[in-house]
Amino acid sequence: MGVAGVVVISLGSSGCAEDEPNWLFQGEWIDIDGRDRTADETCGGTFAYVDAYAGALAVEFGVTDHLGQYRWYSSEQYAADLPCGEDVFACFLPSDQCVHSPVLPFDHEVVHMATFATASCPRVLSEGLAVFYSDAFGRDAKTSSFDRLVAIMQTPSEAREYGMLGRFVAYLVERFGLEAVLDVCRITGPYPDGPALSAAMKSVLGMTTKELLADFQPELGSSCNRFRDYQSRVFACGTAQAAPDLGLVSVDGEHTIDETFTLDCANDMMVGPLGDEMWLHRRFDIDADEIYVLGMWGEDGEDISGVEMTVAKCEPCGHLLTEPGEFIGPQDFEAGRYALELRAPADFRGRVHVKFTH
């Protein structure tokens, strides 16, 4: 799913702190203020999910304080207020810790909130982090864009080629750790030139920008350039383990997954709608490398041809399986933590059975 416009961190002023809020939700990590919006315009679990996602990011980024406000606009109100300026789809304004967006959830901007609470990054890193740690609106990296990445790193206060930036930051986080990337930001601040960024990279990571890019380039020959392959899946796979746990699947067959999910936007487990889809996330563990039987089908003959299941191993570019509609069959899986996602059309109403057993 692409971003319909330009997503930026803006340093301008905002009405978030000035206007009387219309609180639709006040959570542990984030508050949601509706501008010409009502709670029944979103699925039953969306508000809690946004707060839990913000909490997962807070743990990952080492933030302990409330992250701020999310102002959710109707399309008409957003066009009238222009809180992010002309031709900007959504933004996070650090001046008052407020996200402005006509869609919910838009976790790209929530990542900006968590990043800014920790360090002020140049845009090439802040946008890369926001892509990598997002669940939606990610971009695929194109190998043909590598030369553009080289040029962009010389003007690090600008941001283009979001997919390539996300893929490059995924490489940095995997190799050096998130804290090291944030340490680079702490040295540079938001507006370094290319040589200053390179010097900070050398100081923290032990390699200049040129050396890092040369080390990164061979990775683009792998099959891990799609967003769905390189994304962090922090909600299920991060330190916070925020996604509900389905438990352990064991090779001795004593522990299995045998669950029925009621997919209905009104259900408090469902998130969305976004792009005419709703979804849910879960996590589970497998205790041994082996062949397992994985299946999904509709209860009582329900047509689930529009439902899609994704199972992804919680490691960089790990095993990924996506199956649309009803299926059952053997699959090879390695031991470890996995993220499970079910997506369905926003107007789908039905019961979906998922089984995972040795």
Question: CA 53, CA 281: separation in Å to the nearest integer?
Answer: 11
Q: Is the pLDDT of residue 9 over 70?
A: no
Question: CA 3, CA 264: separation in Å to the nearest integer?
Answer: 26
Q: Where are the beta strands (DSSP E) in the chain?
A: 6-9, 23-26, 30-35, 68-73, 88-93, 98-101, 245-249, 257-263, 271-274, 277-286, 290-298, 308-313, 320-324, 327-333, 336-345, 350-357
pTM: 0.94
Give the residue-averaged pLDDT of 334-357.
97
Question: CA 187, CA 131: separation in Å to the nearest integer?
Answer: 22
Which pLDDT does position 258 carry in this prediction? Answer: 97
Question: Can you give the C-alpha Rg of the chain in angstroms?
Answer: 21
Q: Is the pLDDT of residue 10 over 80?
A: no
Return mean pLDDT, the chain. 93
Q: How many CB atoms lie within 10 A of CB 104?
A: 26
Q: Is the pLDDT of residue 271 over 60?
A: yes
Tens-digit pLDDT profile for residues 186-241: 999 999 999 999 999 999 999 999 999 999 999 998 889 999 999 999 999 999 99
Give the residue-averaged pLDDT of 58-82.
97
Q: Is the pLDDT of residue 4 over 50?
A: no
Which pLDDT does position 137 carry in this prediction? Answer: 79
- For the purposes of burial, counting CB atoms within 10 Å of the CB of 68, is it exposed (0-12), middle (13-18) or buried (19 or more)? buried
CB contact at 8 A, 282 and 246: yes
Which residues 6+ apart lie within 8 Å of 304 measured at CB? 296, 297, 298, 325, 326, 344, 350, 352
Tens-digit pLDDT profile for residues 37-57: 999 999 999 999 999 999 999
* Helix pair 194-205, 209-216: axis angle to 10 deg: 70
